[in-house]
Amino acid sequence: MTASPLDPDLLAAVRGVAIAARAMERHLDAMSLAQMRILTLIARDPIRANVLAERAALSRPTLTGLIDGLVAKGWIDRCTVDGDRRGVALAITERGRRSLTAAHQEAADALSELLDELSPTQQRATMMALGHLTTAAQIRHTRRLAETGHGA
């Protein structure tokens, strides 16, 4: 879809996504959306910081700050990598997993409160559209990783 920068429907969608993100972040008790995103990626499997930076599409300095904060809260650990004395992997702790579960629930509660303002049909359509947006972002990210030779 190529739309004019002033397309009113596109601008309304941009505002809606921004408002929803802000509502979710305000609803989070102990972490930011950025921290939640990084913890979600780390929770899948222990991961090296350079791979995490690629997957999260963050600069190394930005990621370093987020990681330092997550370590300080006891939500992740830095672990050595077998066979690589300098290699460090990041792994979620049990405390981090509990905090992430709570954050997911808090974000879902915030989004649910917004959706409650809509009819059931509008709620379903909005959730489907957000699901499609997630799929599009994943497709784009995978394509960009492949184009740069970094794999998925």
Burial 24-34 (b: 16+ CB within 10 A, else e): bbebbeebeeb
What structural domains and CATH numbers belong to the chain? 9-117 (1.10.10.10)
Cα angle 150, 69, 114 (rounded to 5 degrees) comes to 85
Q: What is the pLDDT of residues 86-120, one digit of tens each?
A: 778 899 999 999 999 999 999 999 999 999 999 99
Q: Residue range 118-143: average pLDDT? A: 93
Give the pLDDT score at 152: 47
- Helix (H) or strand (E) holding 21, with range, is helix 8-27
- Helix (H) or strand (E) holding 17, with range, is helix 8-27
Q: Residue range 61-87: average pLDDT? A: 88
DSSP 72: H
Angle between helices 33-44 and 49-56 (to 10 degrees): 120
Confidence of residue 23 (pLDDT cuts 50, 70, 90): very high
Q: Residue range 113-136: average pLDDT? A: 95
Give the pLDDT score at 2: 67
Looking at the predicted structure, is the pLDDT value of residue 55 above 90? Answer: no
Burial 106-122 (b: 16+ CB within 10 A, else e): bbeebbeeebeeeeeee
Give the pLDDT score at 101: 97
DSSP 31: -
Give the pLDDT score at 45: 84
Q: Residue range 114-141: average pLDDT? A: 94
Instruction: Provide, rounded to the nearest whole percent, the portion of the chain with pLDDT above 90.
Output: 61
Q: Residue range 118-134: average pLDDT? A: 95
